[in-house]
A and B are shown apart, each in its own frame.
Chain A
């Protein structure tokens, strides 16, 4: 079945620095979704990328979908304490499949040193 992997598992960042987290799927995805879960909270939808090579920005966050639609990345610039949390990527089923399971990666847990 479909597997979604994320690296790194943990990211310790100095406030003000940049970092990138990566997501790789074992199968081609119809789109990729990113979620953020703050400590003690629940996952919150951030963005969905659909097109091959697509790049989207949300303030200091830049999301990219790979050309082969099997990988994605999230780049955060000038990290702030508000960026603390776990970032998940998720691969929804292909539109032509009967698999309605949204497969989540294990997440990248980000901590920030002030």
Chain B
């Protein structure tokens, strides 16, 4: 079966711009989580969606937002980009948020 697909793989944006990242989970998986990974901070939880509802949110500013569609696909948006937002953004899906997660290859965002 197809894995978790994240698009785009790479992005270069300028400070102050906004960006939208996309994630298509494994078919049948209704839970989608987003993580930010940086060398110094490891995997930081952003938010988790299940059946179009955000069930939990990490400690990130309101510039970070997300949503999930009825087909379980998810998007995350970062507005007013800052240099510190440069990171690998990972999406992970699971059946219901409990059990092993399958990660996508990530979107590497560089803010210049």
Contacts and interface: CB of A to CB of B under 8 A. Distances in A.
Contacts of B42: 88, 104-107
Nearest to B3: A42
A44 B4 CA distance: 12
Contacts of A43: 43, 90, 92, 101, 103
B97 A88 contact: no
Q: Which of A44, A88, A95, A101 is the most central at the interface, judged by chain B CB atoms within 10 Å of its CB?
A: A101
B99 A48 contact: yes
B56 A42 contact: no
A92 interface: yes
B48 A101 contact: yes
Interface string B74-98: 0000000000000000101000011
Given A93-B98, A100-B97, A102-B101, A42 B45 contact: no
B36 to A, nearest CB: 11
Give the interface residue-count category, chain A. Answer: 20 to 34
A41 B37 CA distance: 12
Given A88-B43, A106-B42, A100 B31 contact: yes
A10 interface: no
B100 A103 contact: no
Given A42-B90, A43-B90, A101 B98 contact: no
A44 B90 CA distance: 12
25 contacts: A33-B100, A35-B101, A42-B103, A42-B105, A43-B43, A43-B92, A43-B103, A45-B100, A45-B101, A45-B103, A92-B97, A92-B98, A92-B99, A93-B97, A98-B55, A98-B56, A100-B33, A100-B48, A101-B33, A101-B45, A101-B56, A101-B58, A104-B45, A107-B42, A107-B43
Interface of B: 31, 33, 35, 42-43, 45, 48, 50, 55-56, 58, 90, 92, 97-106
Interface of A: 30, 33, 35, 41-45, 48, 88, 90, 92-93, 95, 98-107
